[in-house]
Structure 1
Amino acid sequence: MMQTPGWFLLAVALVPMMLLCMGTLSQSYRTSHLEREPGTSDPRNSPHQRDQHRDSRPRCRRCCDPEEEFPQYTEPQTEYRVIPHINITILKGEKGDNGQRGPYGKLGKTGNPGPRGSNGMKGTKGSMGAPGDPCKTYYAAFSVGRKKALHSNEYYQTLIFDTVFVNLYNHFNMFSGKFYCYVPGVYFFSLNVHTWNQKETYLHVMKNEQEMAILYAQPSDRSIMQSQSFMLEVEQNDEVWVRLFKGERENAVFSDDFDTYITFSGYLIKAKSEG
């Protein structure tokens, strides 16, 4: 086997070291010739910067040289100042006096009605009250008759009655032949007469001076009974009566002293105050 010469081994060992030194020098050269921004100065112009730049360049040293301790640069630290914090809530003063009451505010909107509550307990029975007024009932009625015949002449005649069947509270005046209304309301009236043969019978039922109903019979050979009935609303102080009509013919009603052929009746159906 062929042996390698010693000088060859030495050359192979030195080549890497040379390459390392050349790379370091070229890096330093490129850094120093970089383009600077306009308006900036060359850091090498300042003595301090030159020393710093010179010191910052890498140095070649042998592996066997002792390591140097480079100064360590630290960033400046911010100083903090302790500020005491006071809790204002614990510095509470004494309670002051009550102020004056302010004015009332506007009324709010009416709310919806609430649900119905439960039924309460049944109360005790109360005492009996005073007795009330008795029910007031109104009455008015009359029924009268005539036993004498009556002939007409040249003026109207009021029919006067001489017999009383019913005259409640004397509302019918026998002397004037008129019913005076003391209880206003609705009344029922009825008139019955006996005609005279060969004579005309013509009568009116009057309210005050107004003709309300008529009873009429033509002359005949026979005398007959005629009647008229109706309901009438009468006010207080009104007068209801019967009169004999004045006509061209002889007007008469028949009667005698023994029997009653002429009757006039009326009674209250419903008082006005009863609604």
Structure 2
Amino acid sequence: MFGGHIIFGTLLAGSLCLHLVSADTCPAGAMPGLPGIPGFPGRDGREGVMGEKGDPGIPLKPEEAIKNGEKGVTGFTGMPGKRGLRGDFGTSGPEGPPGQPGEQGNLDASKSHLHSAFSVSRSTRLPPEPSSLIRFTNIITNVNNHFSADESKFVCKIPGTYYFVFHASCKEKSLCVNLMHDDKKLAIFCDHMPKNSQQASSGGLAVDLKENEKVWLMTGYYNGLYAEGKKGDSVFSGFLIHAQ
């Protein structure tokens, strides 16, 4: 770089000496100066912008296949696609091994838990008072003790549908029996008797009961209820048909 300036300065001085200065001043027949020292190499320019990707090259021979590049980096996992159609059911697998034996159940509890039934009888020849509770003193059957002997009434402990029935012996007097449910008359059964005669009458009814509701029998105005050993019994029965 500096060598070029030196050469240029030498040539410029020679030219001025030839044209501007008189012949007396410049020496006659002067020789040109020596070439200057070469300058330092210049710096590389800035790196250019990368060009667009070119088209694949043509193979030298037609039979040569184009070689694939190396496998790229795995991309990010995309969003889940829509759920496909349900496939066919597979075949059943083999039967598994038998399980462990369970605990032994309480057979008595399972048999009696939802059972309720009773049958009671009356063992006196004296008829009850008119329009009064009919008392049954002889307990024939009383499953789970749902019939109260003290009250002579059935007390519901298992809500559900029950069936109640009575069979009464009558002698020389007419009889009307009322089937009661918590002081409400559900049905009235009457049998009018001729004098010097004896016969049996009966009646029954299905009743829906809630817990602690009561059912019993009550006489009407006619009270010819009778019982005397082998000559006839008066029986009141009830049992659970279906628990709620």
Deviation at 1:253, TM superposition (A): 1.4
Q: Does 1:159 align with 2:134?
A: yes
Q: CA–CA distance in 2 between the matches of 1:206 and 1:114?
A: 63
When residues 164 and 121 of structure 1 are mapped into structure 2, their CA distance, relative to the original with a 3 A threshold, is closer
Cross-structure match for 1:145 = 121
Q: Deviations over 1:230-270 (max 9, x none)?
A: 2222221111100111x3xx533122367552110111122
Q: Deviations over 1:78-99 (max 9, x none)?
A: xxxxxxx986479xxxxxxxxx
Cross-structure match for 1:95 = none
- Which consecutive residues of structure 2, in runs of 5 or more, have no partner in the other structure? 1-47, 54-75
Q: CA–CA distance in 2 between the matches of 1:123 and 1:265?
A: 52
Deviation at 1:164, TM superposition (A): 1.3
Cross-structure match for 1:70 = none
User: Any residues of structure 2 matched to 1:15-26 within 5 Å, and which?
Assistant: none
Cross-structure match for 2:88 = 116
Cross-structure match for 1:205 = 179
Q: CA–CA distance in 2 between the matches of 1:117 and 1:203?
A: 67
Q: Deviations over 1:72-126 (max 9, x none)?
A: xxxxxxxxxxxxx986479xxxxxxxxxxx9x99x77734415337548648536
Q: CA–CA distance in 2 between the matches of 1:117 and 1:264?
A: 61
Query: What's the Cα RMSD here?
Result: 3.5
Q: Select the structure that is richer in helix.
A: 1
When residues 193 and 270 of structure 1 are mapped into structure 2, their CA distance, relative to the original with a 3 A threshold, is same
The TM-score normalised by the length of structure 1 is: 0.51
The TM-score normalised by the length of structure 2 is: 0.57
When residues 120 and 266 of structure 1 are mapped into structure 2, their CA distance, relative to the original with a 3 A threshold, is closer
Q: CA–CA distance in 2 between the matches of 1:255 and 1:117?
A: 73
Q: CA–CA distance in 2 between the matches of 1:121 and 1:158?
A: 68
User: Any residues of structure 2 matched to 1:220-239 within 5 Å, and which?
Assistant: 220-221=194-195, 222-239=197-214
Q: CA–CA distance in 1 between the matches of 2:208 and 2:87?
A: 54
Does structure 2 conserve the Cα–Cα contact (< 8 Å) formed by 1:147 and 1:256?
yes
Which of 232, 237, 244 does residue 265 from structure 1 map onto?
237
Deviation at 1:129, TM superposition (A): 6.0
Deviation at 1:201, TM superposition (A): 0.9
Does structure 2 conserve the Cα–Cα contact (< 8 Å) formed by 1:160 and 1:175?
no
Q: CA–CA distance in 2 between the matches of 1:204 and 1:120?
A: 64
SS in 2 for 1:236: coil
Does structure 2 conserve the Cα–Cα contact (< 8 Å) formed by 1:159 and 1:177?
yes
Q: Select the structure that is richer in strand.
A: 2
Does structure 2 conserve the Cα–Cα contact (< 8 Å) formed by 1:205 and 1:243?
yes
Cross-structure match for 1:76 = none
Q: CA–CA distance in 1 between the matches of 2:198 and 2:163?
A: 27
Q: Deviations over 1:49-68 (max 9, x none)?
A: xxxxxxxxxxxxxxxxxxxx
Does structure 2 conserve the Cα–Cα contact (< 8 Å) formed by 1:171 and 1:182?
yes
Q: Sequence identity, in percent?
A: 20
SS in 1 for 2:144: helix
Supply the AA of the counterpart residue of 2:201.
Q
Q: CA–CA distance in 2 between the matches of 1:86 and 1:174?
A: 112
When residues 175 and 165 of structure 1 are mapped into structure 2, their CA distance, relative to the original with a 3 A threshold, is same
Supply the AA of the counterpart residue of 2:152.
G
Q: CA–CA distance in 1 between the matches of 2:166 and 2:208?
A: 17
When residues 188 and 123 of structure 1 are mapped into structure 2, their CA distance, relative to the original with a 3 A threshold, is closer
Q: CA–CA distance in 2 between the matches of 1:257 and 1:117?
A: 73
Q: CA–CA distance in 2 between the matches of 1:115 and 1:253?
A: 77
Cross-structure match for 1:96 = none
Q: CA–CA distance in 2 between the matches of 1:266 and 1:157?
A: 20
Question: If you compute each CA radius of gyration, which structure gives the higher value, 1 or 2?
Answer: 1
